[in-house]
Structure 1
Amino acid sequence: MANGPYFACLGRPLLIGADGDPISVKTRKALAILGYLIRQRSMGDSRDRLADLLWSNAERLKAMQSLRQALKQLKSAETEAGVDYVMSSSGHLHVDSAVFQSDLLCLGELIEDGSAQAFRAAAELWRGDFLAGYEDLDPEFGAWLVVERERINADIFSLVLKDLDPEDTSDDGVRVEAGALFLLKMDPAFETAHRVLMRLYLALGQRERAEHQLKSCERELQLHLDIEPSEETRALLEDQLPRAAMGHGVPAARQARDQRALQQTAKKTGEIILPSVSILSSEINKQELIEIQHLKDEVIAGLSGFRSYDLYEGGGGFDDPASSMLVNGSELGSYLLKFRHNEQSGKTAIQFEDRADGRIVFNEIVDLRLWDSVHAAASHTISRIHLHTTNRLRDPKNSAAFARWCQAEALMWEFDPGSDRKALQLLEELEGNYNNFSMVFSAKAMINLKHLVNYPVKEKDRGMQMDSILSLCERAVTLDPWQPWNQRAHGWALLQSDMPDMARRAFLQAGRLNTVDPTNLMSVAEGLAFSGDVALARRNAEEAMSLVAAVPRLFYEYYANVYFASEDYDMAAKFVERASQSSISGLTTRVAALVCAGREPEALQVLERYREKYDAIVKNTGLGLHNPEEWAAKSNFFQDPRTRHRYDQGVTLVKRFFFGGGHQA
């Protein structure tokens, strides 16, 4: 064991000291903090993000207090361990990897080793899913955990399978058998691993063991997924399928060469390659199944609305042998989306598979009677697919063009000048190779607009002025008018260019283009509120809130602006209080709402309470120091004269408080 504590996070989490004895940690959320941090880049993240994730339903102040209490519990555990491993600086937390080990990290090292002994040790180490039993800690943490588990499992399965050749009997198949058995320890219903063992036993001349493995596969699939093995699996014993269709993937080295060649061709043609999703279903042609067809159509339309996938409609179903064939792996991803309706139960099975390794990413049973609408049920499935596919692409190791875009998009949501600079570097690289990729231009426009409104003049001078930002958005819309991201960016640029009617049209178009993405709907709602279409803004915001599984704190700031435009200032103050409180714009909305609700003393208390934090933001970004009046003019997006005048009361108070004069007139 290492120099410090050991975190067993596979299965029920447990912190173990260097002496092998368990270390007591009072609450599960304290251990959840460790689990979250070890899955981040550099094993660290901000305090704000942790508070958002684990106390998403609490008021911001209470959430930060709860986080501090959880960190005190970890500090007590550090004292018991005799070593500090959670480090803190400038609102940031990270785990010191030099003195902190985890079973997940050890598992990765064993898989990289790839020997039979290492696979056996990995099977012993696997105690269950990452942070098992922690799904109920908080809705937002639960949503993150579901996606993170899928990412961990998919990565492990991909790494193990790429080097398992079921016809390699040089060591009597010991290594291949150990690798496949490890995968079945993780997921007993993983049909591809059953096929690997069946092919290995056949190659060794052990047909009886292959037949026994088929029976084991039948039992596990029935128990866990309520399905039968595919025809491909059964045909292995009958030797009916050619080698390429038997689940034996192309060797990793060749896959890498194929992928590089594909990317080089794409660069020459300027084509952006996207993740591919093939859609299969059993026959849906009876009148009583019209809602099931509606569900399938909604899911396909929703995925299409992201314009982030190459979608293919297939004619086969769950048990079509061709659908079970593995394909050459791509770092972008190739997936199968299957629909099957059970008339007896009245429920629909939706199964999402990774074609590179045959793994079932998720299999959910949808009972439309339990949903408010088909639209809501479809949105849930689409969100799971989109989160899984894009989160894998956000790994910086993935160099494909669309993956680079996903990485830039993730950086943009951090609302930090440093992250924006990294995003711009990625976008410049993409523009150099793919000058027809529309979202590059709208993303560059959004970053520069953010700088123009929120960052200091010295940063702005290195950026673009409004005319150039608007030109970028117009180019993006010209290249792809069907991309919601482009339309939203155009709407924000038009707002700042004093063209509210045209901005409203752009936001309306964005809303029509993707009606199942809660982020798109909420951003559109805020844009419509600023443009003056308050009733439609409320409808979009309420729809977005009804579709999201766990409400991101950023949504509360958007929702607050919608309520402010509706002149419901108490509700605006209530919602923005639950927002991240990490931006001057959110603080300004809160102060303006309190002032307009006749609660100015409370607004001043809020400013005093957060003085130290926002003084640091102003100092670190230089926000408004050079020209506070320009910041005041640009920070008010509301176009309706009455609403704009009322919001200016908050802008004026924040300007006096942070940019000179304190709270005195």
Structure 2
Amino acid sequence: MRIRLFGGLEVTSAEGQPVRFATRKSALLFAALVLAGRRGLHRERLSEGFWPGRGDAQSRNSLRQALADIRRWFPANGNAAISVEGDQETVALTAGPDEVDIWLFERKLAESATADLAFAAELYRGDVLAGEAIPDGLDEWFSPNQVRYRQKALQLVERLSLALPEAGSADEAACERLAERLLASDPTAEAAHRALMRIHAARGHENAALRQLESCRALLKKHLGVEPEAQTQSLAVSLQTRGGNRQTASTHDTANPAQPVATPARPHDQPSVAVMPFDNLGGADDEYFADGVVEEITAALSRIRDFFVIARQSAFTYKGRFVDVREVGKELGVNYVVEGTVRRGGNRLRISVQLVDSETRTQLWSERYEGATEDVFEFQDRIAAQVAGAIHPAIRGAEIELAKRKPPTSLRAYDLVMRAYPNIWGRRKDTNDQAIELLRKAIAIDPAYGRAHALLAWCHASNAAYLWAEHQENELEKARMAVEAAGSIGDDPTALAAAGSALSMCGEQERAATFIERALALDPNNAWAWARHGWIAIYKDEAARATERFHRAMTLSPMDPFAFNMRLGMATAMAKTGSLPQAVAMAREVIAAHPDIIMSYRYLAAWSAMSGDLETARWAAQKLLTAQPDFTIERYRSLPFFRHMPDWADQVVEALKLAGLPER
């Protein structure tokens, strides 16, 4: 097969080389001819559709050039397996029946054998021309075909899942892969959900089948605001009946079946989460691994003091049976539920994890991890760390949204802190000021709220470090006072990270390191603490040690609101260790993504000047002065975190002078 349209355009020459057409229009014209098949297309329609508004003569000439480009790869001769032929009116692609994936797909669909359907399933790698850039105006050529073949794929996955003769066959695996590909591009594809439900049930995994139903229901609600179709509901009823009969049979001789352990009601001063037993989709030999993953994730989350984690013993009373997340939420008194599946195939392990709001059943976050089985325990630890690192900001984001929806009259100290969170990340002075106001209100309600004091310290330190305050020393003193007012925060990694970050800005690197290291001892997956640990290394003139810390932070929380700061920290470490071109490139990337973050222009101006690119340095300096007219090199140099690296500070000062920034 030398022509593939499913999942993107791939064409191979007679010599086995990838075909690279001269222009995108040539490639799309070739795709249009493939879709048209042997009936071909009218030249006039092609020239007007692909080159509109150019006039008849020019558009026909463009068509001739594009066809010449195609024929360069597929010249017409008597033995050619693929060629473009035509007359004055039409042009068509001729090829053998097995040369084109969509033609072969159609032929296999017409067959009734399960093996033929499975073959067609493997051909469908994604939507027609998925990922190809299609210019405006050409949708009429491709959109109808994309929709048509997607509908055929949905019909195929339904048909194949109903026709599968037995569990564990190669045909079943092909059906499962097709369902997963369809859901990757459209999470609301109910036919794909139903196919996976049938496959799980055929393997004896009714719980996994019912979890697939809940995932389907949550995604439909989230994206379309509708309930599952009657066909899906009917399938669910049959699975629940079947699962109930199986459970009754298995527990018939058990006098006292396990019951969930009731958890006493707690005041909702913090969110709570339960990590449910993961469904083992492999053999019995993999059961220990599935349980081990849950134990590791539970332990990792338990180290985070931002939320309460239900003990494993309580969550594991649900093992082996399907329960609705809303029921779990009520019985265990939790806001969020972590669910997952574990599957081993050959020498590969796959773990799927999702975080669900137990009240609304909304999926807040999901991820899939794959690794080799060679070292299962190392893989287990890595997955636990990544899941904990991802769930933490997902829950925090959900709590922030919940606090935003509450009326002012019902806000507590916790809600006010949640409202402050999105504004504390050093992006703009006005949002930082809003955070300060919210944190002060929280402290007024609860004067002993250590985290509120610690975050307030960070905000005041940011006012000084970003040169937002007229009197920097006053802000630094307020930061120190807020750290002292925080009192005993020794068991709160977030508060420790905030207090340590503030002290680092104040120039107290040794004391700051004590706070940060305590935060990481409690929660090794705290991305903020790892990032600030990197900055402390830079401020202590130990840039070589900073790179690994920033990398750890970015790995744990790639979508973090503070990711720009982590990247600038990594770039600073590069600049200090002699990799100026890489540092400049990273600063440019941050500016392109976040042009409103003023501090980026300081770094770009300095590093560009150091590397001899004065044009870029002066551009960055002008941008900085436009956003911050009162910036002076003297004010910047006076910041206390320069104390431990005087030589570097002097280099920065000289570079900023070359960039054209005012000294005083």
Give the TM-score normalised by structure 1.
0.53
Deviations 1:471-514 (A, max 9, x none): 322343x4212333333333344334443333333333333333
Match of 1:216 among 232, 235, 245: 235
C-alpha separation in 2, matches of 1:638 and 1:134? 54
Distance in 1 of aligned mates of 2:245 and 2:442: 43
Q: Count how many residue pairs are aligned between Structure 1 and Structure 2.
A: 423
Q: Distance in 1 between matches of 2:361 and 2:555?
A: 33
Counterpart pick for 1:310 among 308, 323, 334: 308
Query: Which residue is 1:97 aligned to?
Result: none
1:406 lines up with 2:418 in the alignment: yes
| Equivalent-residue separation in structure 1 for 2:498 and 2:505 (angstroms) | 11
Cross-structure match for 1:630: 635
Q: How far apart are 1:282 and its partner, in Å?
A: 5.8
Alignment match, 2:355: 352
Task: Tell me what 1:613 maps to.
Answer: 623
Q: Secondary structure at the match of 1:315?
A: helix
| Alpha-carbon distance in 1 for matches of 2:417, 2:246 | 37
Counterpart position of 2:139: none
Query: For residues 653-664 of structure 1, what are the structure 2 equivalents within 5 Å?
Result: 653=658, 657-658=661-662
Whether 2:578 is the aligned partner of 1:570: answer no
> Does the 8 A contact of 1:456 with 1:623 survive in 2?
no
Looking at structure 2, the residues matched to 300 and 588 of structure 1 have their Cα atoms a distance apart, in angstroms, of 42
**Change in 2 beyond 3 A, CA 1:610/1:537:** closer
How far did 1:557 drift? Answer: 0.8
**Which residue of the other structure, out of 384, 388, 396, is the alignment partner of 1:390?**
396
Could you tell me which amino acid in structure 2 is paired with residue 356 of structure 1?
Answer: E
Residue 469 of structure 1 is matched in structure 2 by 479
Q: 1:611 to 1:647 in 2, by over 3 A?
A: closer
Distance 2:559 2:303 in 1: 21
Q: How far did 1:415 drift? A: 2.1
**Within-5 A mapping of 1:145-544:** 186=220, 215-217=234-236, 273-281=269-277, 292-313=290-311, 314-317=315-318, 319-320=320-321, 324=325, 326=327, 334-342=335-343, 347-361=350-364, 366-369=369-372, 373-395=379-401, 396-398=404-406, 399=411, 401-413=413-425, 415-455=427-467, 458=470, 464-476=474-486, 478-544=487-553
1:610-655: per-residue Cα shift (whole Å, max 9, x none)? 3553222113xx445xxx623321175462343333333335556x
The one-letter code of the counterpart of 2:537 is L
How large is the Cα RMSD of the aligned pairs? 4.9
Secondary structure in 2 aligned to 1:413?
A: coil
Deviation (angstroms), 1:440: 0.7
> Contact 1:518–1:544 at 8 Å: present in 2 too?
yes
* Structure 2 match to 1:561: 572
Structure 2: give runs of 5+ residues left out of the alignment. Answer: 1-135, 137-180, 189-213, 250-258, 260-264
Q: Which has the higher contact order (CA 8 A, sep 6+)?
A: 1
Give the AA of the match of 2:624: Y
* Change in 2 beyond 3 A, CA 1:283/1:324: closer
Distance in 2 between residues matched to 1:534 and 1:607, nearest whole Å: 23
The amino acid across from 2:437 in the alignment is Q
CA deviation after TM superposition for structure 1 residue 417, in Å? 1.6
Q: Which amino acid aligns with 1:572?
A: A
Q: Distance in 2 between matches of 1:533 and 1:286?
A: 50
Rg (Cα) greater in structure: 2
Distance in 2 (alpha carbons) for counterparts of 1:512 and 1:560: 26
* TM-score normalised by the chain length of structure 2: 0.53
| Residue identity in the other structure for 2:301 | L
Separation in 2 of the partners of 1:317 and 1:189?
Answer: 29
CA separation in 2, counterparts of 1:531 and 1:274? 36
Report how far residue 408 of structure 1 moved.
0.7
Percent identity reads 12
Q: Counterpart of 1:103?
A: none
Confirm whether residue 643 of structure 1 aligns to residue 648 of structure 2: yes
Is contact 2:279-2:340 (8 Å) kept? no
Contact 1:326–1:357 (CA under 8 A) maintained in structure 2? no
- In 2, Cα distance between the equivalents of 1:362 and 1:500? 36
**Aligned residue for 1:18?**
none
1:503–1:531 CA contact under 8 A, matched in 2: no
Give the distance between the partners of 2:278 and 2:522, measured in 1 at CA.
28
Query: Secondary structure of 1:578's match?
Result: helix
The CA deviation at 1:541 is: 1.9
Q: Distance in 1 between matches of 2:364 and 2:502?
A: 39
SS at match of 1:510: helix
SS in 1 for 2:552: helix
* Structure 1 unaligned blocks of 5 or more: 1-72, 74-131, 137-144, 150-179, 198-208, 223-227, 236-244, 246-258, 267-271, 661-665
Aligned AA (2:649): R
SS of 2:638's partner is helix
3-state secondary structure, aligned to 2:276: strand
